[in-house]
Amino acid sequence: MSFIVSEGMPRRVGDIAPGYETWQGPSAGYISGLRGSSTLTYEQIYRSQPAVYAVVNKILKGLSRLPLLSYQMGDDGESRARIRAHALPRLIKRPWMRHSDWDLKVEMIFDLLVHGKCLAWKFRPGPGQPPRELWPIPWPDVQPVTDQRGIIGFNIYLGAGVYSISPDDAVYLEMPHGVPPLEPLKRTLTLEEGAIDWQENSLANGVTAKAVFTTKINVTNKPAMDALRAELMPLYASGPGGRTLAVLGEGSDIKALGGISSTDLELMTQRKFSREEVCACFDVQPSMLGFESTGQPATYASAKEFARAFYVDTLGPTVTMLEAGFNEQLVLCEPMWDGLFLAFDMSALLRPDPEAMARADLMDMQSATSTINQRMAARNQPPIGDPTDPTNPANLPWVAGNGYPLGLAPVTTATPLLEPPAGTAALLEAAILGKSSEPETRG
């Protein structure tokens, strides 16, 4: 089966039956131009506006780099063990032919950030069997079918065919209330698009005059004015064949208009505000992207705090949403996968920073929350000793204050007290009381 990925061009549809979500062709959204004569889809906005492109890619790459791992819940309901030789981790690692888990996360998270919704199609080898492939479908090619109960199915447009699937065969995720971040930015992005067009036209057509020609000669007839304009245009344009020398008559002068007009300055200020609004709707600090509206460079301390806020406030809630959606719609609904669940490995955020990883390992050891072999596995390094041996110290959390693994405290035996030799007690008593035990001698 071949997929035709929409480039975001709005495709018109005719009659939409009741119960179908209203849409602008398979495009999930669009933004009207300033004059209402042209439209830009969300994907075109992502491709054309640097601020949107930078913010979306920042979050997209930050989430996609996190490994999505498979675990088996313990009988106690609290412990967990990572599983590798199972159909679930194989499905996540290779969701469809010649593609990896990175491709799955990139495709779904991109649609989630740009369109506010994303969908993956579960292909089963047979009825009642767990899915063997997981195909992300570009959201512009998806149409939800709804009634009073909510979503009851999806129509998928692939080439000339339309496929209807049930919610049981789909992993469907959406932003809160299904509102994409670009929707409240419609007015901001429309102004930004107009500002970009204005700048392009200003540079191409010379909206602002570059020089002023003054003369005391009274030019009254139109042919004379046209002839004078024709002589000055090559000097004004200063393009190919343009002259660099002006020969003026008595009382004539040319004055250049240097600098930028106040209109241009206000336009640049408005574009800075537009970048800040884009960052606010995506919950990203502008300094994370190199946008500094105040003109003050970020310090090392503030850069570290911005990075921490990005991990905690931006990526953290989205990771929780993705984990809940995948577990509910991909794992828990399959009876053959009972007791399994998926979780993102957040420690991968520290991988480019060896110093931060070392500090995290030290805190894990001091708090006895992980074993040496667990930390070795997180770094894809071989275990120390037998990783299944319960008596192996590397498989047990270390109690740093005592200096030994939990459950393997050294056995200590009490040393019996020896009876002091005869006369020792008297000597000790005499020493404490300050008396001499030697017999007094008299002269």
The sign of the dihedral angle between the CA atoms of 91, 94, 97, 100 is positive
> Tens digits of per-residue pLDDT, 209-255?
556 666 776 767 778 777 777 777 666 555 544 444 455 556 666 66
134: which residues sit within 8 A by CB, 6+ positions away?
91, 92, 95, 96, 104, 120, 121, 122, 123, 171, 330
For the chain, the distance separating the N- and C-terminal CA atoms, rounded to the nearest angstrom, is 123
What pLDDT sits at residue 3? Answer: 32
Strand-pairing partners, residue 142, are: 156
The helix (run of H) or strand (run of E) holding residue 159 is none
> Tens digits of per-residue pLDDT, 12-28?
333 333 344 433 333 44
Q: Model pTM greater than 0.75? A: no
Q: Using CA atoms, how far apart are residues 330 and 9, in angstroms rounded to an integer?
A: 31
What pLDDT sits at residue 235? Answer: 62
> Tens digits of per-residue pLDDT, 262-292?
455 566 676 777 888 898 899 988 887 776 6
